[in-house]
Amino acid sequence: MTEMGAVPTHDEELPSEMAKVRETVLAAMEDFVPAGPPVSREEAKQFFLSSWTEAGRDLPPYYLVYFLLVDLLRFPHLGQWEKVAWAVPVRLRGKLYGIEHRKMGIGVFAPNPDPSATRSTKSSEEAEADAREIVRLLKRAVAAAEPYFEWRARTAAKGPNINVVNRSAVLFERYQFFREQFEALGSEALRRRDEMTKPEEGLNNHKLRFSHIFPGLRLRDEAEWSAQAAIEAFFSWTEHVFIHLTILQGRVENGEEVAKLAEADWKTKFRAALDIDEPTMKTHYDNLLALRTQIRNFMAHGAFGKRGEAFNFHSGAGAVPVVLTRNPKHRYSLTGGPEFDERSALREIELFITHLWSGTREPARECLESELPTVLKYATDGTYAKAMRSIGSMKKFMEDYAARQERAANMDW
């Protein structure tokens, strides 16, 4: 459809193994081919008055279809126009159709066959049948192209054109939710500490019956559970935030480095994002590392005891707690680490969060709380370095970035 502004695909040479995949996919397409130039002026008009087909709504994700048709098979596509990101004119058994990604999604579009038409109309039964066949062929082709998609993903990961998903805000909200629950339940437990109620007859467990007699005890347990959930949520948030901080500070340059960091342990992420040579940060690092060890040992060993004690043995000294260690050569011990205290742990976490968003890192908070992805290209071309100079600079950058994202989402080109 070159007269309608078709954009030719690139001439990049594929590796030999991918060229073979391309041949396999082409064979799977049968008589589904690029449309080529319009056979008449009327046909061009009919194409631009195309309508959605119901069957076409069952296509694979838009990016797989795009990479299949445009990137791998080199089908010519039309440039962007209002509310349309891309459109690929195709023919099935000689009949013209469009595969388009519009604001409302991807679909198969049927041209309006009425030469006097001035707008699109509902697709015909024949067009719906053809759309079902197009969807079937594209699904088969997408399955055959799986090795190509894997290769394309690997290739993309080596470069800077990567956006990293930012879930910092929602992860922090989860931490705040459990922390607030801990405070509320703790306050209620204190208020009801002297209260007694009638036990529930259906509770056979002695401890459960006892805790229901004294609601304050039950509430204290629930407060501890919420605090432990808050601590777990905090560490989950930090593992995510540390990765984005390394990007904003220009310490990673491509997707492979991000993936490697994502797979690393918490200590590695902390050191990659923050300077532990700074005394205050080193103190927080040591305190959080000790807390992480305590809470993880407690959870990992089935939550037997807060010091890792799993069982007791009887002796002349009475019942002696035995601690399960993480050392495979010395699995048992009578001595363990200190028992962690939830309130003190949460106090240390809040002190760290305050220190984290201070000094030169303060502008990063604007970015991470926005939920917009971080962009590796901005880490390598100096964009983030400029934005990180001040809160005002980051706010201005984020406003512009959010506006671009909104325009792209609305396909307002």
Does residue 234 contact residue 182 with C-beta atoms inside 8 Å?
A: no
Give the pairing of strands 318-327 and 32-34. Answer: unpaired
If we measure between CA atoms, which residue out of 357, 109, 388 comes closest to residue 238? 357
Structure tokens at 287: 């305190």
Q: Is 72 exposed, middle or buried (0-12, 13-18, 19+ CB in 10 A)?
A: buried
pLDDT band at 66 (very low <50, low <70, confident <90, very high): very high
Least confidently predicted of 157-161, 251-255, 262-266: 157-161
Which pTM does this prediction carry? 0.76
DSSP assignment of 290-340 equals: HHHHHHHHHHHTTS--TT-EEEEEEETTEEEEEEEEEETTEEEES--PPPP
Number of other CB atoms surrounding residue 402 within 10 Å: 13
- Highest mean pLDDT among 151-160, 202-211, 271-280 belongs to 271-280
User: Given this model, what pLDDT does residue 230 score?
Assistant: 96
Question: Which amino acid appears at position 295 of this protein?
Answer: I
If we measure between CA atoms, which residue out of 397, 401, 372, 400 comes closest to residue 385? 397
If we measure between CA atoms, which residue out of 56, 33, 47 comes closest to residue 104? 56
Residues 350 and 363: their CA atoms lie apart, in Å, by 19
Number of other CB atoms surrounding residue 238 within 10 Å: 26
What integer best gives the mean pLDDT of the chain?
A: 84
Residues 393 and 114: their CA atoms lie apart, in Å, by 55
Structure tokens at 169: 């805000």
DSSP assignment of 101-136 equals: EETTEEEEEEPP--TT-SS--PPPHHHHHHHHHHHH
User: Given this model, what pLDDT does residue 204 score?
Assistant: 62
Residues 31-58: what's their mean pLDDT? 85
Does 325 or 366 have the greater pLDDT score? Answer: 366
If we measure between CA atoms, which residue out of 192, 184, 194 comes closest to residue 223? 184
User: Residue 172 above 90 pLDDT?
Assistant: yes
- Measure Cα distances from 234 to 37, 230, 326, 349, 353 in Å: 58, 6, 23, 8, 10
In this predicted model, what pLDDT tens digit does every residue of 93-135 receive, in sequence order?
999 999 999 888 999 999 887 777 667 778 889 999 999 999 9
User: Given this model, what pLDDT does residue 128 score?
Assistant: 94
User: Given this model, what pLDDT does residue 87 score?
Assistant: 92
Maximum C-alpha span of the chain: 102
User: Given this model, what pLDDT does residue 2 score?
Assistant: 40
Q: What is the 8-class DSSP label of residue 194?
A: T
User: Residue 301 above 60 pLDDT?
Assistant: no
In this predicted model, what pLDDT tens digit does every residue of 312-360 receive, in sequence order?
555 555 565 655 555 445 444 545 555 568 899 999 999 999 999 999 9
- Torsion angle in degrees (nearest 10) through CA of 156, 159, 161, 166: 90
